[in-house]
Chains A and B, each alone.
Chain A
Amino acid sequence: MTIAMRRVIHWKIITAVLALCGIADGVYLTIIHYDTGALVCSVGNCHAVQTSSYSKIGPLPVAVLGLAMYLTIGAISLVRWRRPDLTSTLTTVSFAIVLAAAVYSAYLTYLELNVIHAICQWCVLSALLTLGILISEGYGFYNQLG
């Protein structure tokens, strides 16, 4: 295995692992959106964030949107693993999705700090996971441009 191959596999694995963590976080955030009794929050004020008017887009909880994003990135990781010939297209799609998610995450973090005046540790974790996937996918996207 060449150094270049190891490097290529490396960022794909990082994305897949971060997406798996994101799925777990997204499932938990979705559960506590509907059942705040299940909320465990040792840092910040998750209750205020989870019940704020910004926790939904219309009828859709933001937690579900995040979960869908992580599931999509996870699925892309899986397909990319099984179908290397589609890597280029899938990496472009994955990069675009996670870039959108990162921009939206930054906006949500701004709301937590400046509008809601409360921080939710699980939301911060999600923002950090999204940033990690953005860096990983950005690296892969940049590399495939040659």
Chain B
Amino acid sequence: MSNPSDRESRKNRRIVRKESAQRQAKRRRQFTVIGAISVALIVALALIIIPQLGGSGFGTIQVANASAAGLPSNGNVLGDPNAPVKVVEFGNYQCPYCGIFARQVQSQLITDYVKTGKASFEFRDFAFGGQESSDAAAASQCANDQGKFWQMHDTLYLNQHGENQGAFTRARLKEIAQSVGLDMSKFNQCLDSDAHAKDVQNSSNAAINAGAAGTPTFEVDGKIISYNGYGSLQAAINAALGQ
């Protein structure tokens, strides 16, 4: 028969074991909660951060130095409207060769002929090749409503990324418009309501009627020229100037 002190000792050991088990159970619960929340937050943050490291987007929007800066412009016509020669481009914002012209050749044309008052330069939409072409053209017209056609035009060409690859989705066009500094509530309303969809369609039909079979097509004083680089455009303008 055990004495009272043994019984007390066994009882104390049981209490200690029970308390130890309770502490372990509490630690397990804390570990489970912290573990589940930590894993969830790490996964969510990875989903948010990974695309920003260059996965899905097209990177930062590059804003063009406006070619129209300091020049008279009336919507999509750059330079003196009474200039002796009128140069017209039928272009498509998704067309890679139009992009090369806009980024590499257009500035030479402006310097040599538009700034000197010898020619005016007009851009007309010939939007074919998918929804993104039409939407980009409509976006440029929405920018035109705010007097920033050329800023938008040049910035669109600076941000080409393939054709119908998502570079000119409406969401992306809104980001581009924001970068250009447009009034976003007016721009969104204009783009979302398809305010210029008909204008773009009409302009494209007019381009076909004018004889444009592809982009870029150039017209010098109403005559379509065979464009194969700046030299061919220069020759046509000089001929029209009588030089």
* Chain A interface residues (CB < 8 Å from chain B): 45, 47-49, 51-54, 56-58, 65, 92, 95-97, 99-101, 103-104, 107, 115-118, 141, 145-146
Q: How far is the CB of B114 from chain A (nearest CB, A)?
A: 34
Evaluate contact between B184 and A52: CB separation under 8 angstroms: no
Evaluate contact between A52 and B172: CB separation under 8 angstroms: yes
Evaluate contact between B47 and A57: CB separation under 8 angstroms: yes
Task: Report the Cα distance A56→B165, complex, angstroms.
Answer: 12
Evaluate contact between B47 and A117: CB separation under 8 angstroms: no
Chain B neighbourhood of A92, CB < 8 A: 32, 36
Q: Which of B16-54 contact A (CB under 8 A)?
A: 29, 32-33, 36-37, 39-41, 43-45, 47-48, 50-51
Evaluate contact between B36 and A117: CB separation under 8 angstroms: no
**Interface extent on B, as a size class?**
20 to 34
Chain B neighbourhood of A48, CB < 8 A: 169-171, 174, 192
Q: How far is the CB of A99 from chain B (nearest CB, A)?
A: 4
Chain B neighbourhood of A146, CB < 8 A: 29
Task: Report the Cα distance A99→B44, complex, angstroms.
Answer: 8
C-beta contact mask, B159-202 vs A, less than 8 Å → 1, else 0? 00000001001111011000000001000100010000000000
> Which residue in A53, A116, A141 is a CB contact (below 8 Å) of B166?
A53
Q: Is B4 engaged at the interface, CB distance under 8 Å to the other chain? A: no
From A53, A92, A97, A107, name the one whose CB has the most chain B CB atoms within 10 angstroms.
A53
Evaluate contact between A51 and B170: CB separation under 8 angstroms: yes
Q: Is B3 engaged at the interface, CB distance under 8 Å to the other chain? A: no
Q: DSSP class of A's interface residues: helix, strand, loop or mixed?
A: helix
Evaluate contact between B56 and A56: CB separation under 8 angstroms: yes
Task: Report the Cα distance A58→B166, complex, angstroms.
Answer: 12
Task: Report the Cα distance A116→B45, complex, angstroms.
Answer: 20
> Which residue in B45, B56, B57, B170 is a CB contact (below 8 Å) of A47?
B170
A-B contact count (CB 8 A): 90
Task: Report the Cα distance A74→B94, complex, angstroms.
Answer: 43
Residues A54 and B40 in contact in the complex (CB < 8 Å), given A45-B170, A145-B29: no
Residue on B nearest A134 in the bound complex, by CB: B40
Evaluate contact between A104 and B36: CB separation under 8 angstroms: no
Task: Report the Cα distance A85→B21, complex, angstroms.
Answer: 22
> Which residue in B37, B39, B58, B174 is a CB contact (below 8 Å) of A117?
B174
Evaluate contact between A52 and B171: CB separation under 8 angstroms: yes
> Which residue in B47, B169, B172 is a CB contact (below 8 Å) of A104?
B47
Besides A48-B169, A58-B55, A101-B44, 12 new A-B residue pairs in contact (Cβ under 8 A), listed by A number: A48-B171, A48-B192, A51-B166, A51-B170, A54-B171, A56-B166, A58-B50, A100-B39, A115-B171, A117-B171, A117-B188, A118-B170
Task: Report the Cα distance A49→B166, complex, angstroms.
Answer: 12
Residues A100 and B43 in contact in the complex (CB < 8 Å), given A53-B56, A54-B56, A145-B32: yes
Task: Report the Cα distance A55→B55, complex, angstroms.
Answer: 12
Evaluate contact between A57 and B184: CB separation under 8 angstroms: no
Evaluate contact between A45 and B192: CB separation under 8 angstroms: yes
Evaluate contact between B171 and A49: CB separation under 8 angstroms: yes
Residues A51 and B40 in contact in the complex (CB < 8 Å), given A58-B51, A145-B29: no
Evaluate contact between B40 and A100: CB separation under 8 angstroms: yes
> Which residue in B36, B171, B172, B174 is a CB contact (below 8 Å) of A96?
B36
Chain B neighbourhood of A103, CB < 8 A: 40-41, 44-45
Residue on A nearest B59 in the bound complex, by CB: A53
